[in-house]
A and B are shown apart, each in its own frame.
Chain A
Amino acid sequence: DTAVSQTPKYLVTQMGNDKSIKCEQNLGHDTMYWYKQDSKKFLKIMFSYNNKELIINETVPNRFSPKSPDKAHLNLHINSLELGDSAVYFCASSQANGADTQYFGPGTRLTVL
């Protein structure tokens, strides 16, 4: 069983479009995260939710909006996509708000043309 799953795995779209990436975890964890990995493989946290509440919101354009309908899901919606949004986006989850192990999903490769 996949612990942290993301859909889609690949996403190719045009500039200006709006798209969403979905993330689900079946580990019963309380905290979920979104990370962006750029073309140089640099990983940076974007958001974190704990029990559906936003607890980390890094300096990310407000075109990016996370949504957590329940603590097992954390979706990422991106408006007005730009070329620079092309990256691999990883979802992760951990047991609690703290230094618990973060389990990562397989990633979604977003390509903006």
Chain B
Amino acid sequence: AQSVTQPDIHITVSEGASLELRCNYSYGATPYLFWYVQSPGQGLQLLLKYFSGDTLVQGIKGFEAEFKRSQSSFNLRKPSVHWSDAAEYFCAVGIGGGNKLVFGAGTILRVKS
């Protein structure tokens, strides 16, 4: 069955430090991969997505993610975290042609000043 694992429930980083959020997926075919961010009381906003081609994808707000097929991973990175990045981050895989999203459990990011 398709699944997405985000191993870290919470991560705390200092403002200005680098960030990496981990995501591993299980899916038999070529995956469509997404990262969404959810601020408290808000809906989800797409940060970036991977369909094909270059395995390093750039997103909004200075985020990037790298698809590694051999590791079934799609980790999200940011070189310098801002306090406004504090939110919950969801990794998702699109299956069934891509329109059905299977989400991970999310990682809560806290930013300390």
Binding site for B on A (CB under 8 A): 4, 31, 33, 40-45, 48, 55-56, 90, 92, 94, 97-107
Contacts and interface: CB of A to CB of B under 8 A. Distances in A.
Interface stretch (B18-26, B74-82, B96-104): B96-104
Interface of B: 32, 34, 36, 41-46, 49, 51, 88, 90, 94, 96-103, 105-106
Interface centre among A41, A43, A100 (most CB of B within 10 A): A43
Contact of A106 (B43, B98, B101): B43
Contacts of B51: 99
22 contacts: A4-B43, A41-B106, A43-B103, A45-B101, A48-B99, A48-B100, A92-B44, A97-B97, A97-B99, A99-B32, A99-B49, A99-B51, A99-B94, A99-B97, A101-B34, A102-B99, A103-B46, A104-B36, A104-B43, A104-B45, A106-B43, A107-B43
Nearest to A106: B43
- What are the 10 closest A-B residue pairs judged by CB atoms, nearest first? A99-B98, A104-B43, A99-B32, A43-B103, A104-B44, A106-B43, A99-B94, A41-B106, A98-B98, A101-B46
Contacts of B43: 4, 90, 104-107
Given A31-B99, A43-B103, A94-B99, 5 more contacts: A90-B44, A92-B44, A98-B97, A100-B98, A101-B46
Contact of A56 (B36, B100, B103, B105): B100
A90 B41 CA distance: 12
